[in-house]
């Protein structure tokens, strides 16, 4: 169940999909919203991970991804997303 936040709606979060932020010094795109409480970020640079098969053998290269919670335990934006500048994008979305 998503943390309670009266100012940020699911529509605001969905509108952020496709937007870019800088996370851990990497330019990332928000590619997915999971359960209304977690963002999946994909690094847009040339960094790649080797994806193993179910047997642990390297199979193919895939983009680096991060899974970040949107809210902390008190319903405020998570510190990692604040550091990535997400709060700058939200007022823009809320005014639409």
3-state secondary structure 1-41: CCCCCCCCCHHHHHHCCCCEEEECCEEEEEEEEECCCEEEE
pTM (predicted TM-score): 0.78
pLDDT at position 96, please?
42
Q: Tell whether the model's pLDDT for residue 14 goes beyond 50.
A: yes
* Residue 17 pLDDT level (bands cut at 50, 70, 90): very high
31-88 pLDDT, tens per residue? 999 998 999 999 998 767 677 777 877 877 788 899 999 999 888 889 998 998 888 8
Q: What is the largest CA-CA distance in the chain?
A: 49
Helix, strand or coil, per DSSP, at residue 63: strand
């Amino acid at each position: 169940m998503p943390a309670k936040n009266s100012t940020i709606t699911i529509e605001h979060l969905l509108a952020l999909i496709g937007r870019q932020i800088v996370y851990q010094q990497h330019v990332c795109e928000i590619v997915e919203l999971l359960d209304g409480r977690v963002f999946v970020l994909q690094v847009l640079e040339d960094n790649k991970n080797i994806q193993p098969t179910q047997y642990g053998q390297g199979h193919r290269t895939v983009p680096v991804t991060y899974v970040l919670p949107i809210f902390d335990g008190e319903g405020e934006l998570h510190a990692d997303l604040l550091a990535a500048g997400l709060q700058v994008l939200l007022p823009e979305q809320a005014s639409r």
